[in-house]
Structure 1
Amino acid sequence: MSAPLLEVRNLRVQAGPLEVVRGVDLTLRPGETLGIIGESGSGKTVTCLALLRLLPEGLKAEADVLVWRGRDLASLPDREFRPYRGREMAMVFQDPVGSFNPAKSIGWHLRTALDRLGAKGPWRPRAKALLADVGIPRPEAVLERYPHQLSGGMLQRALIAMVVALEPGLIVADEPTTNLDNIVEQQILALFADLRKRLSAAFIFITHDIGIAAQISDRLAVMYAGDIVESGPAAEVLAAPRHPYTRGLIATANALAARAEQLAEIPGQLPAPGARPSGCVFRPRCTWAQDGCEAPQPLREVGPGRQIRCLLDA
């Protein structure tokens, strides 16, 4: 088994005195895709923004260990960390519009990315090839266009081309198909699958869509209220979920896929960071709650590569 590209231990994110993400552990190897699933507000995006030090003002991240290619970056000053962002670890955002300068052409953006890479020779042939690689027709013409002149799907492809230009070892995709129609969504997913074959990079794919997670992930991490509550090989987690929250997510997804007249819903709602219940944070919504759930639950091994934060099967 290849050595990990990324190892993270006890990652925490705080907003003042409130914990937004608590004790997240992650390991990623070259060519591996980790899917992170959960409801909106569960901490998926914040976790990945913390990895790249892109958190908005007011949030602070700490980790006991953050090792990238053998070097611990956890205590690295921001100035020294900056070269790793984009060049080593990059992110494809849910809404690509915010990733582009509206006053600059697509060609300018790609040239800037290639300059950062230190690419030699004329930039235009390389930029055209990058756009063609992500399925953009007539790339020469697209180089002259501005972001507002491209559709959402085309702009997402252009952003992916910029990321690929930097040849990062880790690509984080934050729900990159959310605002796209089904046909374009499948095209973007196929593009990620192709990139995975051609690159040695690791991928983190954030999604709330169980079907997408099943399609693209090797392993899954299920997040709830800032905690990872279950993790393991994607096929095993989806076929035999162990945590009540994971079971609820999959039951709802299956009902939607089957166009059921009545959806299987998880009762209640996600707690705000300042209103977390004591003990198991999922307890107020859990139909399997029992004696002992009033105590905090550690993430424990329940099989090879499988972890669960729950008393079930204890």
Structure 2
Amino acid sequence: MSPMPKRLLEVRNLRIHAGPLEVVREVDLELRQGETLGIIGESGSGKTITSLALLRLLPEGLRAEADALVWRDRDLTSLSDRDFRPWRGREMAMVFQDPVGSFNPAKSIGWHLRTALERRGLRGAWKPEAEQLLDSVGIPNPAAVLDRYPHQLSGGMLQRALIAMVVALEPGLIVADEPTTNLDNIVEQQILSLFRDLRKRLSAAFVFITHDIGIAGQISDRIAVMYAGEIVEQGPAAEMLAAPRHPYTRGLIATARALAARADQLAEIPGHLPGPGQRPSGCVFRPRCAQARPGCEAPQPLRDIAPGRQMRCLLDA
């Protein structure tokens, strides 16, 4: 029996505040070497800002707190922003949803890769490794691409170049924030295949953020479902897809299957995701839940429902 991969990341009770409002609360995450965690949920559920908090990249006006953020057995919560900066990129890196904003439009692709390689510590000839990196992410004619500028690449090519730049730093954690958004189906599958290949080649852990539970199922070992700033269910991906337990997870899967089958009528979840200032008391999904019952007015803890499975709901309690 092979030993369990080493735990790289542990997050306990992450909270994110926007002024007096708590927009993300009670988030616990764990990642092991070589593992991919998919975080899913509707737009506005807290997926992206949770990942930004891990890398201390929250926009102005948002503030994160956590009981612990342990990376490779070291708790980083005590580090100042200045002391944390060297960890960003080298230890933890992010592939953003919009690759355009990750590049300086006045600098070539080669300049970006050279900068990343130099930050990693490479001195001397950089072009051979830069070409190899572009080739490894499926970019044809990498020598020519090094001389091009970001606006000269298609969206899919630019996303691949960004992934190559992240891989150049050899981080232990790679966070991908909806990296297939706005790409056509063929390019989307190519990017997913690239991430699967990277997981085999690198000894890193991955967080893959998406609103599409079908994509999460293709790429993830485990899935965490977020709703209104909370994790409402998490567990092994195969189990979550085969037997979802939380009503919200069931609704997401039903909608995804109807879309995949091109059904005449979608199984939509009624109602709307509440904004941070409109979060209901008790179970946050209660106003949209067809299975709401007495007791749902009380806050629901994230509890164990099976080995490796947790849910924030009264069902099966």
Q: Does 1:299 align with 2:299?
A: no
- Aligned with 1:194: secondary structure? helix
User: What is the letter of the counterpart of residue 201 of structure 1?
Assistant: A
Deviation at 1:2, TM superposition (A): 2.6
Partner of 1:6: 9
TM-score by length of 2: 0.98
1:216 maps to what in 2? 219
- 1:43 paired residue number: 46
- Separation of aligned partners in 2, 1:206 and 1:165: 21
Name the counterpart of 2:287. Answer: 284
The within-5 A match list for 1:61-100 is 61-100=64-103
**Which residue, 56, 59, 63 being the options, matches 1:56?**
59
Q: Does 1:263 align with 2:266?
A: yes
Q: What is the CA RMSD across the aligned residues, in angstroms?
A: 0.6
Which of 28, 33, 36 aligns to 1:30? It is: 33
Q: How far apart in 2 are the matches of 1:170 and 1:240?
A: 29
Contact 2:5-2:34 at 8 Å conserved across structures: no
Are 1:236 and 2:235 counterparts?
Answer: no
1:149 aligns with 2:137: no
Q: Which whole-Å CA distance do the structure 1 matches of 2:176 and 2:17 have between them?
A: 23
The alignment-based identity, stated in percent, is: 83
Matching residue within 171, 175, 178 for 2:174: 171
- State the shift of 1:119 in Å: 1.1
Structure 1 residues 196-211: aligned runs within 5 Å:
196-211=199-214
Structure 2 contact 271–288 (Cα < 8 Å) conserved: yes
What code does the residue aligned with 2:172 have? G
Q: Quote how far apart the aligned CAs of 1:157 are.
A: 0.3
The aligned counterpart of 2:277 is: 274
Measured in 1, the distance between the counterparts of 2:5 and 2:241 equals 25
Aligned AA (2:307): P
Query: Residue type of the partner of 1:241?
Result: P
| SS of residue in 1 equivalent to 2:232 | strand
Return the alpha-carbon distance in structure 1 between the equivalents of residues 13 and 178 of structure 2.
Answer: 24
Q: Distance in 2 between matches of 1:257 and 1:107?
A: 40
1:195 counterpart SS class = helix
Query: What stretches of structure 2 of length at least 5 have no aligned partner?
Result: none
- Deviation, 1:109, is 0.2
Structure 2: which amino acid aligns with 1:186? Q
Cα drift, residue 3 of structure 1: 2.7
The aligned counterpart of 2:115 is 112
Q: Distance in 1 between matches of 2:79 and 2:219?
A: 32
Cα displacement (A) at 1:64: 0.3
Residue 23 of structure 2 aligns with which residue? 20
What do the CA deviations read for 1:289-310 (whole angstroms, capped 9, x no partner)? 0000000000000000000000
TM-superposed CA distance for 1:120, in Å, is 3.0
CA deviation digits over 1:169-222, x for unaligned, max 9? 000000000111111111111100000000010000000112111100000000
Structure 1 residue identity aligned to 2:96: F
The list of structure 1 runs, each at least 4 consecutive aligned residues, that deviate by more than 6 angstroms after superposition, is none
